[in-house]
Structure 1
Amino acid sequence: MSRLVTQFSKLPPVIICIIGTISGAIGVTSFSPFHFWPGYFVSLVVFSLLVITSPTAKTSFWRGSSVALGFFGAGVSWVYVSIAEYGQVGTVIAALITLAFVVVLCAFWALSAWASWHLIHHFSQLPASVWITLALLIGEFARSTLFTGFPWLLPGYAIENTWLFELLPIGGIWLTSAVVVLTSSAIACVLSNKPAQLSLISVLFIIWGSAAYLAYFPVSWVQQTGTLKTTLVQGNVKQDEKWLPQTARESLAYYQQTTIEHLDSELVVWPETAITYTYSQMKPYFSSFSKELSDTNTTLITGIPDVSPDKKDYYNAIWATGDGFGLYYKRRLVPFGEYIPFSEYIGPILDVFGMPMSSFKSGDENQPVLQVGEWGVAPFICYEIVYAEQVRRMVRDSDFLITISNDGWFGTSFGPWQHLQIAKFRAKEAGRYVIRATNTGITAFINEKGEVVAQAPQFERTTLTADAKAFSGVTPYVYWGYWPTLLLLLLCVAFSYLNGLVKKRTP
């Protein structure tokens, strides 16, 4: 096998980059809706091999870029759908904007490959697999945090149908990501005849074995405290008609009438910006409706825009009324969708292209959970559910989680399916039900084990009713956060370094 790898490294650079791009695209099959978990390991093994066999750091940079191009080019292709269909810029500009976005994402992997090469060649005390893991995880963390971040398609999401899924309540998405990258890079070391170190392989066997044990002998980290009959309303309003006055009136009438038909539910949830009128407009209008809800012990939670008293700042919000209360402003805004980074520079360019400007403001960092009767509800609007740390910080005060979204932006692409998959990971990490109401789908109930227990069909005007279970207590991940992942990485570094010292002293 090592001879085959050596021959592979001698191929023309263009051929190697093509192979890298294809292997990167294969990695997307590990994510929803495909769920072929070995696919992502193929991408990372090839990525690691290309780094290990690169003669220079520059070569490693471009080889790493090729794998990233295939992975992100295929993985976030749904971005093109929203820009082309609703951005008013035409197909060519939409393609260029999507390509620019993909290139930015690729830069994190390319820099990780470049850094890995330098670390491998200048600090040989540690095996290549450790350096590749550390560099790529730092790159993924940077991708997830800079300019509000884009923590989509992280390595740990590839393992939903494996034993590693059971590690989520212990260390969250970053622990599973670390194990995936470390496993893949260790395989690459073995294939390229590089020392992978027995101690490191042993750690991986222990982790996979522990995950298998938890899969067959699960541990209950949280306790059920009650149930809440809940109805989700999926309006299926066309995105290009959503904000038209006639559509707004008709949609509001549908949502209200449907809610009246489900007053036997303790909670009714409408999707993101189901109401396109502002909160200040709707609050007095809803006074009698809110009283009717309260009289039947029903809470309504809906997405709604809000505006500051001076009419200068707009917010994407969730409002609880009836037998509950609370108003939450979205904290994590979507770049170019809800706000424009560096708007003083980029804004005029987008104006030339005719691309609509978004001007939402983010809410305060410390906002209380919503109240549904006696229950606390941690709210998340659309994109916010991808931020594991934001969810983790709000879990302690909540009995279950609610996320509302409008994935109609992404049409029939696999973007909504990836979004649903991410919500399943948050449920497993937090040990809480996730109630997910969307405009066009995928509307669903996800239990504390990260399993979808009820799901509505896409692109249909419908409702979905089920019992949402409330839970108390916290998982180790909610309590410890990043620490289990950092401990794993520190152990790998320590074991590898000590193993290197022993080898040097052995005659």
Structure 2
Amino acid sequence: MERLASRVILSSGIGRVFLAMLAGALAVLAQAPFFVILAPFVSFTLLVWLIDGATGRAGAGMIRRRLPAFMIGWWFGFGYFLAGLWWLGAAFLVEADEFAWLMPLGIIGLPAFLAVYFGFATLVARLFWSEGAGRICALAASFGLFEWLRAFLFTGFPWNAIGYAVMPVPLLMQSAGAIGLWAVTTLAVFVFATPALFGTRRGLVPGVAFALVLAAAHVGYGAFVLSRPAPAALDPALPIRIVQPVIDQAKKLDDAERGRIFEEHLALSAAAPAEGRPKPKIIVWPETSIPFILTLNPDALVRIADVLEDGQVLIAGAVRSEDAGPGLPPRYYNSVYVIDDRGQIVAAADKVHLVPFGEYLPFESLLQEAGLQALAASMPGGYSSAPAHQPLTLPGGKVFYPLICYEAIFPDEIEATTATTDALLNITNDGWFGKTPGPFQHFHQAQLRAVETGLPLIRVANTGVSAVVTARGDVVDGLQLDAKGFVDVDLPAKEPRPIPHPWQTRGFLIGCALMLLIALYTRKQST
């Protein structure tokens, strides 16, 4: 182990770059759908040794002295995000004649940008570097902080946060409910990087001991939570139907297919439940499942009323238009409607966090002059965003908190609590990404939001993965990728969480500060 560490530390040139990229790419194997938990142990061990050797030339300026540490993190991050996000390229092929030339922006440009966060993480960690376990503290705290910053800087994109790697199953998800994703991410990096101590020996005993305590606490807390009695089922039960139509994305964009697509959704909604199951009270369709502007098509509302039986409610994703004023083009919103059995829209909410370049163009006037338009928005100018999340109050009083598409990956933006909300509702259309890891990664991240909030999750996707998830992260029932059909299931009960999210974030920041202080102390002790 010491010989291997020495070779990595002393590596140079293209071999060093390749090793950093390979280590980053390997770490993605711990994310959905693979969950190879051993992969990041190798990745972060190599990263520690690479940082050990990331020293600038003697007498160089401040930037040049720090640049090697930044570049190691950047190459590690580039490998991580390239391997974890390559499937984004599938979206550019849906309308290949118009967007295929932009594919490098998605599969190379975005990873190159996101890798900057990892570059700064290793740079900051190197400032606190020492020869013992203190450097593991520095790396963990720095990665935790920059993963947290990745969630909101430049609109945010916390996809495949490192902490998800240690939460593949409900037993290992419960820590997120207690301390939050970012604290789990920080502690996960510490555990993943601890084997590097075997290569240099200094700080081995305290470092390994702390890592073992963290791992035991992670598993033990999960076992404790799952051993407690589950919350009592709702009385009366609330039967829900989730509809997964599996509509090819190219057909969704075809005007000639819109009527057939609408009727296909209605047919799945009207199908008889399995023997012994009651008829659903709530039927849920995916994001943009209504293939036209509903308020401009009153006949569609009549058709919905014809299909819904007394007391049934339809929740469906749709594009909503709004008059912007005289002489101005209408504004469009990616929305969700609640429609009752009389065909009346009784509640609605618009998407708040839009996808840059997918649903709107940053620097719109400049980029439109260059011939660009938003990838997933079929109308000029793309979508407008709502100012705030609007909970949906259903007939009967239940309150659902809507998360449209990738809004489910932003834990810090979800304000739903068990005191005011009965369930999270995530509607999405992952049909853009085909049979790739993307839809599985998306589902796994949404699944964790249920555990963090203590609320059951109703997730409905056009092509999958669709499921109803309990507040403890268990999948009650669902449909896998490309499985056309519906599932009828009773809404699970909610379960209060011990620590509110704002306090979890404060605790995470205090913990990172303490780890950096430990790293600083050990650095001073070694000099």
Note whether the superposition's TM-score is higher than 0.5.
yes
CA distance in 1 between counterparts of 2:297 and 2:43 reads 50
CA distance in 2 between counterparts of 1:188 and 1:477 reads 35
The corresponding residue for 1:10 is: 10
CA distance in 2 between counterparts of 1:195 and 1:172 reads 28
User: Contact 2:266–2:307 (CA<8 Å) still a contact in 1?
Assistant: no
Q: What is the deviation of 1:246?
A: 2.5
Compared CA separation, residues 350 and 67, structure 1 to 2 (3 A):
farther
1:215-254 to 2 correspondence within 5 Å?
Answer: 215-218=222-225, 223-224=231-232, 226=234, 227-254=237-264
Query: Are residues 1:331 and 2:331 paired?
Result: no
Q: What is the deviation of 1:210?
A: 2.2
Of stretches 460-469 and 266-275 in structure 1, the one that deviates more from structure 2 is 460-469
CA distance in 2 between counterparts of 1:335 and 1:222 reads 40
Q: What is the deviation of 1:103?
A: 0.7
SS at match of 1:307: strand
The corresponding residue for 2:311 is: 297
CA deviations on 1:284-333 (whole Å, 9 max, x unpaired) are 7415744874x622111000111112342110001112169320100111
1:185-264 to 2 correspondence within 5 Å?
Answer: 185-195=193-203, 198=206, 203-218=210-225, 223-224=231-232, 226=234, 227-261=237-271, 264=279
AA matched with 1:271: P
The corresponding residue for 2:372 is: 351
AA matched with 1:211: H
User: Contact 1:125–1:497 (CA<8 Å) still a contact in 2?
Assistant: no
1:268-347 to 2 correspondence within 5 Å?
Answer: 268-282=283-297, 285-286=300-301, 289-290=304-305, 293=308, 296-310=310-324, 311-322=329-340, 325-347=346-368
AA matched with 1:187: P
The corresponding residue for 1:371 is: 394
1:10-409 to 2 correspondence within 5 Å?
Answer: 10-56=10-56, 57-86=66-95, 88-89=97-98, 91=100, 93-120=102-129, 127-161=134-168, 164-195=172-203, 198=206, 203-218=210-225, 223-224=231-232, 226=234, 227-261=237-271, 264-282=279-297, 285-286=300-301, 289-290=304-305, 293=308, 296-310=310-324, 311-322=329-340, 325-351=346-372, 359-371=382-394, 373-393=396-416, 396-409=419-432
SS at match of 1:481: helix
User: Contact 1:272–1:405 (CA<8 Å) still a contact in 2?
Assistant: yes
CA distance in 2 between counterparts of 1:433 and 1:271 reads 17
CA distance in 1 between counterparts of 2:84 and 2:132 reads 36
Compared CA separation, residues 350 and 32, structure 1 to 2 (3 A):
farther
CA distance in 2 between counterparts of 1:399 and 1:353 reads 34
Of stretches 38-47 and 326-335 in structure 1, the one that deviates more from structure 2 is 38-47
Compared CA separation, residues 490 and 146, structure 1 to 2 (3 A):
closer
Which structure 1 segments of 5+ residues have no match?
none
TM-score under structure 2 normalisation? 0.86
The corresponding residue for 2:477 is: 454
Of stretches 69-78 and 337-346 in structure 1, the one that deviates more from structure 2 is 337-346
Q: What is the deviation of 1:241?
A: 1.6
CA distance in 1 between counterparts of 2:263 and 2:90 reads 29
CA distance in 2 between counterparts of 1:410 and 1:148 reads 22
CA distance in 2 between counterparts of 1:225 and 1:59 reads 56
CA distance in 1 between counterparts of 2:364 and 2:141 reads 34
CA distance in 1 between counterparts of 2:49 and 2:139 reads 10
How many residues align? The count is 500
Q: What is the deviation of 1:343?
A: 2.0
Compared CA separation, residues 164 and 458, structure 1 to 2 (3 A):
closer
The corresponding residue for 2:62 is: none
Q: What is the deviation of 1:75?
A: 0.3
CA deviations on 1:105-134 (whole Å, 9 max, x unpaired) are 11111222223223437xx99922222223
CA deviations on 1:160-186 (whole Å, 9 max, x unpaired) are 247653211101211210111122334
AA matched with 1:414: P
Of stretches 172-181 and 489-498 in structure 1, the one that deviates more from structure 2 is 489-498
User: Contact 1:65–1:106 (CA<8 Å) still a contact in 2?
Assistant: yes
AA matched with 2:165: A
Superposition RMSD on alpha carbons, in Å?
3.1
Of stretches 469-478 and 445-454 in structure 1, the one that deviates more from structure 2 is 469-478
CA distance in 1 between counterparts of 2:159 and 2:375 reads 28
Q: What is the deviation of 1:153?
A: 0.7
Compared CA separation, residues 101 and 8, structure 1 to 2 (3 A):
same
AA matched with 1:52: D
SS at match of 1:28: helix
1:356-505 to 2 correspondence within 5 Å?
Answer: 359-371=382-394, 373-393=396-416, 396-471=419-494, 473-478=496-501, 480-493=503-516
CA distance in 2 between counterparts of 1:85 and 1:271 reads 19
CA distance in 1 between counterparts of 2:229 and 2:348 reads 30
Compared CA separation, residues 380 and 81, structure 1 to 2 (3 A):
same
CA distance in 1 between counterparts of 2:96 and 2:142 reads 36
SS at match of 2:368: helix
CA distance in 2 between counterparts of 1:353 and 1:291 reads 36
TM-score under structure 1 normalisation? 0.89
User: Contact 1:299–1:373 (CA<8 Å) still a contact in 2?
Assistant: no
User: Contact 1:78–1:415 (CA<8 Å) still a contact in 2?
Assistant: yes
Compared CA separation, residues 407 and 229, structure 1 to 2 (3 A):
same
CA distance in 1 between counterparts of 2:499 and 2:523 reads 33
AA matched with 1:272: E
* Aligned sequence identity (%): 22
